[in-house]
Amino acid sequence: MPAKFIEDWVEGSVDISPGRTVTETEVVAYSWISGDVNPMHTDEVYASNSPIGARIAHGTLGMSIATGLSSQIGGLVGTAIAALGVDEWRFYKPIFIGDTVTLHATVVSARVSRSKPDRGVLVRRMDLHNQHGDIVQTGLMTTMVRSRTYKAQEEE
């Protein structure tokens, strides 16, 4: 998908990412990077005896994967300025090692800033689905995006 300016985003539109399988290597690496070595992520015996019954990915790893899948969808490469926030993020179901997830990104709002018309604010509902179609995580991600006014200024 080519880069979109804030004016190009349509409220209610939904983009779906390709699938991505969560691997044991990623969970182990994320444990090391984050410092979160909870045995639900790192200890097969412990996790198999837990109420969940198996090792799971970190919740924030799922959120990170959602941002990566958003990048794969496209639309913001070259027009995104900055992430502004994550709101209402919920973890509904665990992500197991071997699960394949996809992102369904729905545009909630897209508006040009009144005070700075060279940019705008994009809010999208990010629903991370597992291979069974279950929503495992969801939340709102807000991104600052260039407007066409910015492009016009560049061309002058």
Closest CA to 13 of 125, 102, 136: 125
Pair of tokens at residue 106: 């729905």
pTM (2 d.p.): 0.91
* pLDDT at 2 (0 to 100): 83
Instruction: Using pLDDT thresholds of 50, 70 and 90, give the confidence band for residue 153.
Output: low
* HEC per residue, 55-99: CECCHHHHHHHHHHHHHHHCCCCCCEEEEEEEEEEEECCCCECCC
Instruction: Using pLDDT thresholds of 50, 70 and 90, give the confidence band for residue 152.
Output: low
Pair of tokens at residue 9: 């985003």
Instruction: Using pLDDT thresholds of 50, 70 and 90, give the confidence band for residue 151.
Output: low
Cβ atoms 26, 68 nearer than 8 A: no
* pLDDT at 32 (0 to 100): 96
Domain 6-155 falls in which CATH fold? Thiol Ester Dehydrase; Chain A (3.10.129)
Instruction: Using pLDDT thresholds of 50, 70 and 90, give the confidence band for residue 149.
Output: confident
Count of C-beta atoms within a 10 Å radius of residue 136 = 22
Reported as a single tens digit per residue, the pLDDT across 70-119 is 999 999 999 999 999 999 999 999 999 999 999 999 999 999 998 999 99
Domain locations in the chain?
6-155
* pLDDT at 98 (0 to 100): 98
